[in-house]
Amino acid sequence: MASSQHTPPAAKPAGLEVVSVSRRNANVRTVRVPRPPLQDASFMHATLKGLQITVKHFFKNVVTRSQVETIQYPEEKKPYPARTRGLHRLMQRDDGSVRCVACMCCPTVCPANCITIIPAETSDKRVEKYPAVFEIDELRCVVCGLCVEACPCDAIRMDTGKHALPVEQRSDGVIDKDEMLAMGTRSIAVQGGTGPEWRRG
């Protein structure tokens, strides 16, 4: 003989009106959902509120320009910080020749593999090699500055204050040795350093 179990009535949802109707031993529950306010149902109130804020800031910036950060580029340019990494340049010796000795430190440390150096022998007794070809693909450069840190001769710098210009041809984004030498100046660094007695000097 099966025992009858009493089932507790379900909890009434918040904001809902539950009407129970008994039909032939079956409980039918009719739920009446309350309608939301008109301003929430049509989204018109939220839309008008957003447009009000937009129009307020628009006329405030047009009239007073107190919060406008836009400058008229390229007529107006902000000065670059002193430590900005710009286009590469090659430093020169006293006779105007390049200080690079083709030690291959910069292409080795470059994470983007954008530096191409082809060394060649030189008759200069101060150095053994010089770069016959020195090219940098500025479109691949990630402006990390590792080439400048790795150079032992103060031959390459990134302090030109110029950024890479947009180009139409891929080849135009590659700068060669002559272009970098034209942006370079004479370096006052001593080749090989001043030795272990530099403090006495």
Q: DSSP secondary-structure letter at 127?
A: -
Number of H-type helices and E-type strands within the chain: 5, 7
pLDDT at 26: 67
CA–CA gap between residue 154 and residue 73 (Å, rounded): 34
By CB atoms closer than 10 A (0-12, 13-18, 19+), residue 147 is buried
What pLDDT score was predicted for residue 27? 74
CA 116-122-123 angle, 5° bins? 170
Domain ranges of the chain: 16-70, 89-183
Residue found under tokens 């302090």: 159
What mean pLDDT, rounded, does the chain reach? 83
CATH 3.90.79.10 fits 89-183, yes or no: no
Alpha carbons 42 and 47: distance in angstroms, whole number: 9
Tokens coding 48: 């008008």
What per-residue confidence (pLDDT) applies to 191?
A: 61
pLDDT band at residue 1, thresholds of 50, 70 and 90? Answer: very low
d(CA 10, CA 174): 76
Query: pTM for the whole thing?
Result: 0.60
Greater pLDDT, 28 or 111: 111
Q: Which helix (H) or strand (E) holds 109?
A: helix 105-109
What is the residue whose two structure tokens read 């010796």?
93
| pLDDT exceeds cutoff 60 at 13 | no
- The pLDDT of 84-91, averaged and rounded, is 93
Tell me the mean pLDDT in the region 152-162.
Answer: 91
Residue found under tokens 């016959």: 132
Q: What is the per-residue pLDDT for 126?
A: 74
When pLDDT is averaged across residues 92-108 and rounded to a whole number, the result is 91
Instruction: For residue 136, count other CB atoms closer than 10 A to its CB.
Output: 27
- Write down the pLDDT at residue 128: 82
Does residue 192 register a pLDDT over 70? no
CB 149 within 8 A of CB 97: no
pLDDT in tens, 42-79: 788 888 999 999 999 888 888 887 777 788 888 888 88
